[in-house]
Structure 1
Amino acid sequence: MGQTARALAIPTIDRQSLHRLETLFIVPDIYRRDDVAERQAKLARIVSNEIVPRLLKLHAQVVPAAPPITVVIEALVPTSADITGLADIVLGSDLEAAAAYVLMMRERGLSMETLFVELLEPAARLLGEMWDRDDCDFIDVTLGVARLQKLLAVFNETHVLPGLDTHRTVLMAMTPGDQHFFGIAMVERFLTAAGWQVRTELEGTSESIADVAKQNWFAVVGLTAGSERQLESMRTTIAQIRRESRNQAIGVMVGGPMFTANPELARDVGADGTAPNAPAAVLVAQKLFDLGHRQRV
């Protein structure tokens, strides 16, 4: 299959194949909480009874002689309403609905890169903001982010990799000189809950962090920095990791307040991406995993 044909290929989406991915993208402990089904049903009712009618009413008010809402959505790139709608869907239990929505976007010719930047990652970021506001709890957000991960993997076709559960490994480290470990702890917590194997280094030099990546295979490395004073140290650490990493296609993501204020700064320090909060970092890690796989094949 040529590169163009492969880029336009649409995977088969069905309930059975999506369900089979649960053990890879959501740790079993998440489902041990007794009220998960009840919470999902409650969220689904909220979406059905409150969110969707509001969107339909707003649509009719803005365009009185409006065509069906599906026709309008198909004609638009993702909007803030679309992002909110996807977040609501993945907080419920109907992953097929979320997959069908992404499939509709893909069939219109939008690339997965565009959908990641304009729909999936913003939806994960919104879930993090909802968690910060206590609109939903850790379990709800974890389930939602894990479902977004599954969608990304399905559409990038990395969900069929042999030994997927052993390849989704991440090295989280604090940039030498950084003392703020709360952020990295939150990212680690969400990554672990979303099915990643995580190794965390809270102390060490650029050389020792790079040596860990040299001695062990990681798909992704994540570095955090608390202030601009650590940027040069971060740049040095990233360069050394790329030189010495056992996985030469390793993806590098970074986090910290300065990257939230200026995401383009991530490229300046040599990283592949950044995320403004922990749920979004999970989706960025999955994207880098998918990109790394394409580089290796």
Structure 2
Amino acid sequence: MIPRLLLAHSSDLPRSRVVGTLSVDPADAARFASLPLDLDAEELLEVVEGFVQRGVSIESIYVDLLAPSARRLGQHWEEDECDFLDVTMGLWRLQEVMRQVALRYPSDVFDGNHTRTALFSPLPGDRHALGTLMIEEVFARSGWQTEALIEPKRKELLQIIAERHFDVIGLTVSCDCTNATLADLICAIRSVSRAPGVQVFIGGRMVNANPGIVDEVGADGTAPDARSALVLAERLVAKKRAGSVRFDLPLG
């Protein structure tokens, strides 16, 4: 588990309270997309710092710059334009950049009551963690109490959900798996959860390619990116206090 306190204890980096409001221009995002194949993490961070200094919000850095770059790296591999090692190194560099940005630009938002809680995890067996860490960071920056699992075993995931209260469970599904496997996991999550009416979201490459899978496996929703997932989660958590609810949005 990656606790948010790890960020608080990393005091060796300069920190800034720069609060940008601009979004990454799509043309800039397109030019950045393949850079992780050629630049090291420090060089990529310098490029990202340039966006931040121009007033781009940290949320936009995650959602509009780093996430599309990760998807583009996957496309390079699918189209046989580079090998698996190149893609793996590129994704690692993006993950390191995201970590450094989180450390240098911590959020001012803090919900002292911790009224909204979320756990994010890749599907057990899925080794891709970037999407999980990214969505967890977006939620945390909006005041949620969040935690993330990296390469969890099914037993570990279910044990944590059984022991602790989470309003939202987010599963990222990047590898291919059967609907039956995913449906069985979601059913198990609901059966052990300490939170009545826990909301289970699914996302990732496999879900984006077939949003209809949400209904097929019994999930509560999906969204194409972390920003949309946050909007959906906040609506669902607010609604569930009025009773059991199923809330579908055309976000997938």
Q: How does the TM-score come out when normalised to structure 2?
A: 0.55
Q: Residues 221 and 251 of structure 1 are in contact (CA less than 8 Å); yes or no, is this contact kept in structure 2?
A: yes
Gapped regions of structure 2 (runs ≥ 5): 1-14, 33-50, 64-110, 246-252
Q: Tell me the distance in 1 between the aligned counterparts of 2:25 and 2:242.
A: 29
Aligned partners of 1:206 and 1:240 also within 8 Å:
no
Of 255, 262, 281 in structure 1, the residue corresponding to residue 229 of structure 2 is: 281
**Corresponding residue number in structure 2 for 1:179:** 127
| 1: CA distance, partners of 2:28 / 2:117 | 25
Alignment-mate amino acid for residue 269 of structure 1: V
Is 1:216 the equivalent of 2:164? Answer: yes
Aligned residues, how many? 163
Partner letter of residue 175 of structure 2?
S
Query: Which one of 141, 149, 164 corresponds to residue 201 of structure 1?
Result: 149
Matches within 5 A, 1:97-112: none
* Percentage of pairs with the same residue: 30
1:237-281 alpha-carbon deviations (Å, 9 max, x no partner): 211110110012110100111221222211211110001112112
Counterpart-to-counterpart distance in 2, 1:195 and 1:130: 31
Which residue of structure 2 aligns with residue 236 of structure 1? Answer: 184
Structure showing the higher helix proportion among its residues: 1
> Who is 1:137 aligned against?
56
CA-based RMSD: 3.5
- What is the correspondence of 1:51-62 to structure 2 with a 5 Å cutoff? none
Normalising to structure 1: TM-score of the pair? 0.47
Out of 110, 114, 124, which is 1:166 matched to? Answer: 114
Is the CA contact (8 Å cut-off) linking 1:175 and 1:230 kept in structure 2? no
Higher gyration radius (CA): 1
CA contact (8 A) 2:165 2:194 kept: yes
CA shift, 1:189, in A, is: 1.4
- 2:137 paired with 1:189: yes
In structure 2, the residue matched to 1:33 is 17
Matches within 5 A, 1:1-80: 33-34=17-18, 36=19, 39-40=20-21
Query: Which residue in the other structure is 1:86 paired with?
Result: none
